[in-house]
Amino acid sequence: MQKCNRRANLSNIMQAKEINSPVAIADRKNLDIRAGDNIRVWQKIQEKDAKTGKLKTRLQAFEGLVIAVKHGKEAGASFTVRRVASGVGVEKIFPLYSPVIDSVETLKRSKVRRAKLYHIREKAAKEIRRQMRNIRSVKETEGEVNEEVAETEAK
């Protein structure tokens, strides 16, 4: 019985106090991020200035497809964004209430039938393998052509 009262008191205290946070918690709760969304996440990145040595903060965008949203809107909530950069798949996991995130923009919403789109990874890998087959055949023919040219120049 006593444990229940303690929990109730803690929750009342948490609700009564204003929590000082660098993140607008209400805004983040109202974000409607789902799997299948194309979003742009603006991150705050701190860098040291080469001349002055002071820390500078700049914004960098990470744009991609949301493949998973975990733990809804609670304190430990996170979402995974995937994009293909220079032919390599890059995934980042962002905590929903992270102070590193400046803003989140939803660019496009797709209708999907899964909550987690992990199968997109294999689809992309298959497509890249298919493209690599074509590249290999082209390089092999180029190698043969180069060898023939080298033999004619030697004669």
In CATH, what number is assigned to the domain containing residue 54? 2.30.30.790
Pairing state of beta strands 78-85 and 88-95? antiparallel
Q: Are residues 29 and 50 in the same domain?
A: yes
Q: Is-contact 74 30, C-beta < 8 A? A: no
Tell me the CA distances in angstroms from 31 to 36, 55, 76, 88, 101, one per residue in order: 15, 30, 15, 28, 13
Higher pLDDT, 102 or 130: 102
CA separation for the pair 64, 84 (Å, rounded): 8
Domain that includes residue 128, residue range: 118-155
pLDDT over 90 at 18, yes or no: no
pTM: 0.66
In a domain, 75, yes or no: yes
pLDDT over 90 at 93, yes or no: yes
The predicted-structure confidence for 113-138, as pLDDT tens digits, reads as follows 888 988 888 887 777 777 777 765 54
In a domain, 1, yes or no: no
Quote the mean pLDDT of the chain: 78
pLDDT over 70 at 13, yes or no: no
Q: Is-contact 64 82, C-beta < 8 A? A: yes
In a domain, 34, yes or no: yes
The pLDDT > 70 percentage for the chain reads: 72
In a domain, 50, yes or no: yes
Q: Are residues 32 and 94 in the same domain?
A: yes
Q: Is-contact 41 81, C-beta < 8 A? A: yes
Phi-psi region of 53 (alpha: psi -120 to 50; beta: other; left: phi over 0): left
Q: Are residues 132 and 113 in the same domain?
A: no
- How many domains, in total, are found in the chain? 2
Stated as kind and residue range, the H or E segment containing 45 is: strand 37-48
Bridge partner residues of 91 (DSSP): 82
Q: Are residues 130 and 103 in the same domain?
A: no
The confidence score (pLDDT) of residue 10 equals 47
Bridge partner residues of 85 (DSSP): 88
The predicted-structure confidence for 74-86, as pLDDT tens digits, reads as follows 888 899 999 988 8
pLDDT over 90 at 15, yes or no: no
Higher pLDDT, 148 or 56: 56
Q: Are residues 144 and 100 in the same domain?
A: no
